[in-house]
Chain A
């Protein structure tokens, strides 16, 4: 587009007192060749905004550069329809954190304005990625209570649903339960699971197409363009799908591995599933002889919270065992029921159910089962190392039944032939976290997976009971609908929700190095047989990690590119060695580090005046050419400030900051080729609350750079 640039400077909030605005105006006119340059003492006020609006209407200004507060504030105020907007942060990053009216402060303001002008030169309005044949339907994989609930909730909101269930009938694990633990006030009695009702509603719903005895054989494409092959016996069904909910559930931990707890010793040592099956048939009896159960013991955490088995807690088992204790007491009011536990975990209102079972005669024994024996007469005994009652093991004898409360293992596709069968460069299934759950790593954004438009729900993603799984199912359905809503507008989903840009590849320069296809945290880029990258745009989350990866610099967004940032840093005025004014360049992650630096300003914390900050979408988008460009330009040091990586990573793009650190570890060679110390380039983990620490880190960095003296490339 033909740009007609207007530069609007604010002298309010202390900016006018800290810098010489007239000089900035001159810079805008001369270096920036702006067609209009205006200053107002209250630019975000109605009069200031009118000034800009008038120029847009009257002068045809369509590229607006605002030199005022941080781009994080007044976003709605400085928004003018189709006009392009760039912001120079003269308030938080200059006036509020620098000594007023010094040469250094003025130079800083000049550099920020220059960078915004260059950014404006290099930016363009985005054209959203749109296709004619976007699908709006949701595929739900798994016909258990979670999958059925997802299907129903999506259908009730007006979405067409395809539901695929592997077994011949709907219902899943919940269909094998007699009842569920209480979910409704007063939380004292086991409740109907709601499975039968859900099956009926799913079968009757006009918007839900059900395929039982069917599996997903292949998935290709991306959100709104998923082409899914469903195999049902010898039949093959093709569906174009908008988004996917994966609700494949979990299976009980294999009891055969629990010989130590007596499994296999006697038919009367059973799992909760077997106990539930008997209850569903009408009565829980001794499997060995069908006789009445007088005395029974539940072994909680059987194979759970145990490094030899499942190290995690399955969350539902305490309540489920109590529910079966209630079944046994209801069928025989004289039955003695023992529950051997380490910690009782009945969170929330379920505590009331625990109380009820205690009041009803359930005997809770804190301890660890150290042995199970068959006594003469085929009855069983448990040896319990009791934590509460004494140091010598206690024996619970004369037991008719021992029930092992085993945990849950997710059906995430790894070990049972696959679920999604994605035709993705980065593998056919969802990446899983520790213990095989394809759960989100995020506390605030629990639905974010690493495969755009595919959401997990229920026990496949973390252990939970029925009530929680049904809520989860509805949440995942919303996310699926939302992904469709955003994608059909050509917009990105979380965390850059609404972003209309996407990466474009200048393929003539591609060397098929595969870095972009390997590094994309979301597996958005496929490869053809010649290793050319093929972007599946609707999978893209717009982090720019591919752009950072590309050594040929062929990947660009309309408003974010290697050339843009490179030109911005080249526009910074680097004083000559004689002036003894070092320059430090900071690439700051706009999600956490940049806001932290803003906060430093808001708290009026002084910043080193020699630092220049460039916000980036994610450290993953930092291209190493910027480092060598900046070094050639004469910067004395470069710091990447971004999110923590490792086990407790905070990077919103999951891998971005980690990839940046890997890339950076390889830069020493480049630097030594330039005869520069590798310590001149560093990465620091900065969280959003590090607003006191971040300026200190920068000062310390500046100090450490003095040891190396000025960058010898200055002035070349």
Chain B
């Protein structure tokens, strides 16, 4: 593979979410050779898990489909899934990068016919749906997965399922001899686009996430509302499957908070307004209450805020919720706090609570394997301090999709400059 490409003219893009995907394709269409590596068995990252985008309420798969088609049509982009970068050495124009690929146990002979999943009896928690359902241990990661290829969970190794899966495949695509592989390659420039993790809601002790089943996160309600999600799109309570018609969304859950994430994650206000729409569209008689500090509907996104504000069944309460209690009998949640505009205390009952948690940079948890400049939160600085290494998207700061795409397009140019200088 690497022989075919002038190695030092190749750009390595780390992370196959919307940012990395964009950098890779935009650079390739401008004439550069690109290696795109992604840890998951599929591309699309966080946006693939979203039900719809704000403010148009359109599905992310629509844009992803176009991007995947651009990849399919462009031999300059090489994609490596289930792959991480474990080492970086060298300098701009001549980096040696070590890529570690985990075994998928399914090779390129897979036709995605699905016989392995039919044959497999074991089930595992489905990480794509945040563990809200289970899936076969031989699985397609999600409905729109690209590449369209199955994966086998390592837990089946040594179990009777191993033979069942092998026997079920008519194409010799299952290979349990696959091992983790390390490859070292030379590239000219690196774009780091490893995105974000949802802030750990369990850290918000007053809100009972993990203890009260009907307290969920914003990313979880995206999956609940999605037609490919654990409930096929029905927004129901995890505790009893009851339709969620009296929903609270708590803004800034762990954000703008020096004990958690001191910064503002920018997208959560708009996402909350959007998720309120999911509920309102699904159940015309539903009520949604938004507990907020400031509504950050930047630029023309203001229109979407105005639209949601005009819905009489959506209530805005300016308040930081102090605590949540669960009504043991019903599974309802009682929210306690002070409404700062009405200047009164409240005890409000809801049947589902959504925590609008923020974006923790993945680089805070897993550092770039070479020293780069980061800020106090772990986001990589615009000037990484290492010529040839550029960061893009939410590795740089909390961004919405349009801004992440802009910045990733800019990063594609920075990377092209890096390889042109050599």
Q: Which residues of B contact A603 (CB under 8 A)?
A: 143
**Is the pair A350, B143 in contact by a Cβ cutoff of 8 Å?**
no
A325 to chain B, nearest CB (A): 17
A485 vs B405: C-alpha distance when bound (angstroms): 20
Q: Tell which of A185, A305, A474 touches B413, judged by Cβ atoms closer than 8 Å.
A: A474
**B-contacting residues, A423-465, CB 8 Å:** 434-435, 437, 439, 441-447, 462-464
B230–chain A nearest beta-carbon distance, Å: 15
Cβ contact within 8 Å between B410 and A475: yes
Of the candidates B29, B227, B264, B299, the one whose C-beta lies within 8 Å of that of A351 is: B264
Nearest chain A residue, comparing its CB with the CB of B25? A497
- The answer to whether A472 touches B58 (Cβ under 8 A) is no
B299–A313 touching, CB < 8 Å: yes
B264 touches A312 (CB 8 A): no
How far is A574 from B262 in the complex, measured between Cα atoms in Å? 66
A126 within 8 A of B: no
**Cβ < 8 Å to B, chain A residues 335-364:** 343-352, 355
Q: Which of A281-289, A411-419, A476-484 contacts B (4 or more CB under 8 A)?
A: A476-484
Q: Is there contact, CB below 8 Å, between A185 and B171?
A: no
Is A265 close to B, CB under 8 A? no
* Known contacts A312-B300, A350-B264, A689-B226; A184/B382 CB under 8 A: yes
- Tell me the complex Cα distance, A445–B397, Å: 19
Residue pair A478, B30 in contact (C-beta under 8 Å): yes
List, in ascending order, chain A residues with CB within 8 A of B416's CB. Answer: 157, 478, 481
B113 CB contact (under 8 Å) in A12, A183, A474: A12
Chain B 370-419 residues near chain A, CB threshold 8 A: 374-377, 379, 381-382, 397-403, 405-410, 412-414, 416-417
What are 25 A-to-B residue pairs whose CB atoms are below 8 Å? A45-B171, A76-B72, A157-B420, A183-B382, A185-B375, A312-B300, A312-B302, A315-B299, A343-B294, A343-B296, A348-B263, A348-B264, A349-B379, A434-B303, A441-B56, A443-B402, A444-B67, A464-B299, A477-B413, A481-B416, A497-B73, A592-B62, A687-B59, A689-B226, A689-B227
Enumerate chain A residues within 8 angstroms of B382, measured Cβ to Cβ.
Answer: 183-184, 467
In the assembled complex, the CB of A473 is this many whole angstroms from the nearest CB of chain B, namely 8
Asked whether, in the complex, the Cβ of A156 is within 8 Å of the Cβ of B417, the reply is yes
B63 at the interface (CB under 8 A from A): yes
- Asked if B239 is at the interface (CB within 8 A of a chain A CB), the reply is no
Closest to A592 in B: B62
Q: Is A187 an interface residue (CB 8 A)?
A: yes
Residue B112 at the A interface, CB < 8 A?
A: yes
Chain B 62-89 interface mask (CB, 8 Å, partner A; 1/0) = 1111110110111100000000000000
| B contact residues around A376 at 8 Å (CB) | none
Residue pair B72, A75 in contact (C-beta under 8 Å): yes
* A343 and B375 in contact, given A312-B302, A602-B112, A687-B62 (Cβ under 8 angstroms): no
B262 contact from A355, A366, A443, A446, Cβ within 8 A: A355
Q: Which residues of B contact A502 (CB under 8 A)?
A: none
Query: Does B213 sit at the interface, judged by CB under 8 A?
Result: no
- Give the chain B neighbours of A479 by CB distance below 8 A: 26, 409
A184 to B66, Cβ gap below 8 A? no
Contact of B340 among A388, A443, A472 (CB under 8 A): A388
Say how far A310's CB is from chain B's closest CB, in angstroms: 9
> What residues make up the interface of A, taking CB atoms closer than 8 Å to B?
12-14, 41-42, 44-45, 69, 72-73, 75-76, 153-154, 156-158, 183-187, 305, 311-315, 343-352, 355, 366, 387-388, 434-435, 437, 439, 441-447, 462-464, 467-468, 471-475, 477-479, 481-482, 485-486, 493-495, 497-498, 591-592, 595, 599, 602-603, 643-644, 648, 650, 652, 687-692
| Interfacial residues of chain B within 260-297, with CB under 8 A of chain A in the complex | 262-266, 294-297
Residues of B within 8 A of A387 (CB): 318, 341
Within 8 A of A (CB), among B37-71: 53, 55-67, 69-70
Query: Mask for B297-322, Cβ within 8 A of A = 1, else 0?
Result: 11111110010000000000010000
Task: Compute how far the CA of A158 lies from the CA of B56 in the bound complex, rounded to whole angstroms.
Answer: 38
Question: Is B256 in the interface zone, CB < 8 Å from A?
Answer: yes
Q: Tell whether B111 is near chain A: CB-to-CB under 8 Å.
A: yes
Closest chain B residue to A73, Cβ basis: B148
**Are B171 and A347 in contact, with the CB atoms below 8 A?**
no
Whether the pair B266, A305 counts as a contact (CB closer than 8 A) is no
Contact of B407 with A471 in the complex, beta carbons under 8 Å: yes
- For chain B, the count of residues having a C-beta within 8 Å of the partner chain is 85
Nearest chain B CB to A501's CB is how many angstroms away? 13
Across-interface contacts of A187 in B (CB, < 8 A): 375
In the complex, the chain B residue whose C-beta lies closest to that of A386 is B341
Given A447-B409, A475-B410, A478-B409, the answer on whether A313 and B263 have CB atoms closer than 8 Å is no
A344 adjacent to B294 (CB under 8 Å): yes
Which of A352, A485, A498 is close to B263, meaning CB atoms less than 8 Å apart? Answer: A352
For B266, the closest partner residue in chain A by CB is: A347
Residues of A close to B376: CB separation below 8 A: 185-186
For residue B66, which residues in chain A have a CB less than 8 angstroms away from its CB? 444-445, 494-495, 591, 652
- List 4 tightest A-B contacts by C-beta distance, closest first: A444-B63, A185-B375, A474-B410, A475-B409
Q: Which B residue's beta carbon lies closest to that of A185?
A: B375
Min Cβ gap A445→B in Å is 7
A498 in contact with B74 (CB, 8 Å): yes
| Residue in B59, B66, B398, B399 whose Cβ sees the most chain A Cβ within 10 Å | B66
Q: Bound complex: CA of A481 vs CA of B57, how far in Å?
A: 31
> CA separation between A314 and B69, bound complex, in Å?
35
In the complex, what residues of B have CB within 8 A of residue A312's CB? 299-300, 302-303
Query: Given the complex, which residues of A lie within 8 Å of B57, measured CB to CB?
Result: 648
Q: Are A348 and B420 in contact (CB under 8 A)?
A: no
Cα–Cα, bound, A688→B69 (Å):
14
Contact B413 A42 (CB under 8 A): no
CA distance A446 to B340 in the complex (A): 38
Contact A688 B299 (CB under 8 A): no
CB distance from A34 to the nearest CB of B (A): 24
A443 is contacted by which of B26, B56, B397 (Cβ under 8 Å)? Answer: B56
Decide: B170 and A42 in contact? CB cutoff 8 A: yes
B410 touching A689 by the CB < 8 A rule?
A: no
CB nearest neighbor in A for B421: A156
- Other contacts beyond A348-B398, A485-B30: 16, CB < 8 A: A12-B171, A13-B111, A75-B72, A158-B420, A313-B298, A314-B299, A348-B263, A366-B341, A441-B56, A443-B56, A446-B406, A494-B70, A495-B66, A497-B70, A595-B61, A689-B227
